């Protein structure tokens, strides 16, 4: 399988704490994306990091990528109760000559619960 | 919020019924996708389309079929629903920003087959 695998499966923290989720994948990628899903809803794109990037920030989100270890992490700083959701990583798999398969492979997600 | 819509949000039907799940987007995206998701599990791609009159099967075998007659519309049909089809179905389209593509998802259809 080329899917990403998130770790941990579930994370429970208090408001104000930082939340870190990890993603590992198996093949070479063009980019890795993180999505958020509120219960019973569709996914919402959060942030994209390209294979030649090591770190990216967007508001309270910080994403790192280590292509040598085939892993990524998503850090949410100063978490809020409204951050409670499932978080998925998705990989855009690289094929010959850097082209893409044209679709994303998703993991099972990390369920984050932030208590007020 | 993305301009991609799925109807119905919830559907409870009996075994053997024919159903169509609707998906429409107003962003002019060429690429559209159907994913199937069970609780606590990953999303499985079941169908995708790169444009009008183009449809392909995804990674997970599915008894459903799709059509793409118009750019904005990508319906999914089950000819004879069974309890094993009970799941959440998510429609998505993708748009390009420079070299990168990201997915825009609808709110999903939760299907329950009794």
In chain B, where the domains are located: 4-113
- Of B76, B113, B112, B109, give the one whose Cα is nearest residue B8: B109
CB A66 within 8 A of CB A25: no
B101 and chain A in contact, CB less than 8 A: yes
pLDDT in tens, B25-55: 999 999 999 999 998 788 899 999 999 999 9
Rounded to 5°, the CA angle A8-A115-B40 comes to: 40
Best of A4, A36, A43, A101 to disrupt the B interface (most B CBs within 10 Å) is A43
- pLDDT reported for residue B70: 95
Q: What pLDDT, on a 0 to 100 scale, did the predictor assign at position A40?
A: 82
pLDDT in tens, A46-99: 999 999 999 999 999 999 999 999 999 999 999 999 999 999 999 988 776 555
Would you call B103 and A44 a contact, using CB atoms and an 8 Å cutoff? no
Query: In CATH, what is the architecture of B4-113?
Result: Sandwich (2.60)
CA distances for A44 relative to A38, A69, A108, B11, B104, angstroms: 9, 26, 15, 23, 7
* A39 has a pLDDT exceeding 70: yes
Helical H segments across chain A, by residue range: none
Asked if B41 has any chain A CB less than 8 Å from its own CB, the reply is: yes
Is B57 an interface residue toward A (CB < 8 Å)? no
CA–CA distance, A107 with A37 (Å, rounded to integer): 13
Distance, in Å, from the CA atom of B57 to the CA atom of B105, rounded to the nearest integer, reads 19
Delineate the domains of chain A, giving CATH numbers in brackets: 5-115 (2.60.40.10)
C-alpha triplet B47, A30, A21: angle, nearest 5°: 85
Distance from CA of A23 to the nearest CA of B (A): 13
CB < 8 Å to B58, chain A: 103
**Which two structure tokens, joined as six digits, stand for B111?**
């299907």
Beta-carbon separation of A3 and B45 below 8 A: no
- Please, what is the average pLDDT of chain A? 90
Q: What is the pLDDT of residue A18?
A: 97
CA dihedral B76, B97, B42, A89 (to 10 degrees): -170
What distance in Å separates the CA atoms of residue A74 and residue A21, rounded to the nearest whole number?
5
Q: Which residues contact A6 (CB under 8 A, 6 or more apart)?
A: A21, A22, A23, A87, A88, A89, A107, A108, A109, A110
State yes or no: pLDDT of B2 exceeds 80: no
């Amino acid at each position: 399988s080329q899917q990403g695998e998130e770790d941990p499966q579930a994370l429970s923290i208090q408001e104000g704490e930082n939340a870190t989720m990890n993603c590992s994948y198996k093949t070479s990628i063009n980019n890795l994306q993180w999505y958020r899903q509120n219960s019973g809803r569709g996914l919402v794109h959060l942030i994209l990091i390209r294979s030649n990037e090591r770190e990216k920030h967007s508001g309270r989100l910080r994403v790192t990528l280590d292509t040598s270890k085939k892993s990524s992490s998503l850090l949410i700083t100063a978490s809020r109760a409204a951050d409670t959701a499932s978080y998925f990583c998705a990989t855009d798999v690289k094929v010959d000559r850097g082209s893409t398969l044209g679709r994303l492979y998703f993991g099972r997600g990390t369920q984050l619960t932030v208590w007020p | 919020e993305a301009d991609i819509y799925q109807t119905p949000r919830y559907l409870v039907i009996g075994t053997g019924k024919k159903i169509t799940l609707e998906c429409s987007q107003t962003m002019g995206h060429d690429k559209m996708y159907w994913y199937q998701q069970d609780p606590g599990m990953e999303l499985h791609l079941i169908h995708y389309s790169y444009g009008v009159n183009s449809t392909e099967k995804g990674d997970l075998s599915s008894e459903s079929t799709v059509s793409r007659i118009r750019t904005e519309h990508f319906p999914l049909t089950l000819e004879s629903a069974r309890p094993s089809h009970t799941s959440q179905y998510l429609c998505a389209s993708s748009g390009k920003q420079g070299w990168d593509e990201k997915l825009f998802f609808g709110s999903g259809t939760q299907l329950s087959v009794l």
